[in-house]
Amino acid sequence: MNLLNKILEYESYNSYLIKIQKKIRKKFKIYFVPTNIKNLPKNNHPIYTNLSYQEELIKTFSKKNHLISFNTHPKIVQILKKLFLNENLEFSFLDFGGENIDFYLYLKKNFKNIHYFIYNQKEINEDFTKLKEKYKFENITILNNVDEINSYNYDFVNFGSVIQYIENYDKILTKIITSSKKYIFFSGTHFYSKKLDEVNKIVVKQVNMLPDKLYCYFFNFENFVKIFISNGFSIIFKEKNLTDNVNYKNFGLSYDNIEYTDLLISRK
């Protein structure tokens, strides 16, 4: 497995080698490989949506009236209904890293008085601003920079498989802790249990998206939740994410119990 990891980790611009990498990845069902990198590279995550795609989602949603795009926790509405028992209750929802307009439409369908906030990369924020103006969407606020996050308070903060792609994730979490009134939810996040000299994360290369080059963090679970516990939060549940059966066998026993995880925490 070490040899396969090295082949897949190698940054190649050769189309033939990329084909070999893709064949190896597919045959051995490898999603991620370890690296010696300490921090994520800049401009790490490509943008897969555009304004035309978003408008197609709006058209399709108007016909089918249910969630169209992929969501790392398809049953998030059920979670929200348990937490906010009265469906007419007003509450604020921050979708950090949200990128598809049909998720907003889906939430609005189920919760009439939800106030939806979204923060993402500049291009996605600009598309949402255009959609909001064109379609007269209500109760949606686009946060255009990180500093705006602390201009509001949120009943529920949603990180849909996104925190692992953020270089300065610790600074983001500090801001979220300050602005969170109650719940913070991390879906589709990679955690391991082994302590490595107090290292709180490792950088891995994501290879299931080849030829796109992506890197992300795997977090030590105990160190990750420590910042929340020390600020008066507690864990509501920690469960395996079931949207994909991620294979970690190529990591051997180096990190112990790596798991694709959904984690809900709450302020006490």
pLDDT tens per residue, range 31-51: 999 999 999 988 777 888 999
| The pLDDT value given to residue 252 | 87
pLDDT value at residue 14 = 76
pLDDT, residue 212, reads 86
pLDDT at 188 over 90: yes
Residue 99 in domain: yes
C-alpha angle 190-193-194 in degrees, rounded to nearest 5? 125
Per-residue pLDDT of 206-255, as tens digits, reads 999 888 889 999 999 999 999 999 999 999 999 999 999 999 999 988 88
Q: Which of 7-16, 124-133, 148-157, 171-180 has the lowest mean pLDDT?
A: 7-16
Q: What is the CATH number of the domain that holds 243?
A: 3.40.50.150
What pLDDT, on a 0 to 100 scale, did the predictor assign at position 198?
Answer: 64
Q: What is the pTM of this model?
A: 0.93
Residue 235 lies in a domain: yes
H/E element holding 205?
strand 201-206
Instruction: Determine, yes or no, domain membership for 72.
Output: yes
Range of the domain at 211: 33-267
Q: What whole-number percentage of the chain has pLDDT above 70?
A: 99
In a domain, 1, yes or no: no
Provide the pLDDT confidence category of residue 194 given band limits of 50, 70 and 90. Answer: confident
pLDDT for 101 beyond 80: yes
Q: Write out pLDDT tens, residues 44-84.
A: 778 889 999 999 999 999 999 899 999 999 899 999 999 99
Asked if the structure places residue 57 within a domain, the reply is: yes
Q: Are 114 and 107 in contact (CB under 8 A)?
A: yes
Residue 87's pLDDT band, with cuts at 50, 70 and 90, is low
Locus of tokens 């299931």: 208
Domain count, the chain: 1
129, 142 Cβ separation under 8 angstroms: yes
Query: Which of 21-35, 98-112, 158-172, 192-206 bottoms out in mean pLDDT, i.e. has the lowest?
Result: 192-206
59 within some domain: yes
Q: For residue 21, is it within any domain?
A: no
| Mean pLDDT, all residues of the chain | 92
Helix 101-110, helix 51-64: angle, nearest 10 = 30
Distance, in Å, from the CA atom of 268 to the CA atom of 258, rounded to the nearest integer, reads 28
Across 30-39, 91-100, 196-205, 215-224, least confident range: 196-205
Do the beta carbons of residue 118 and residue 140 sit within 8 Å?
yes
Does 12 map to a domain? no
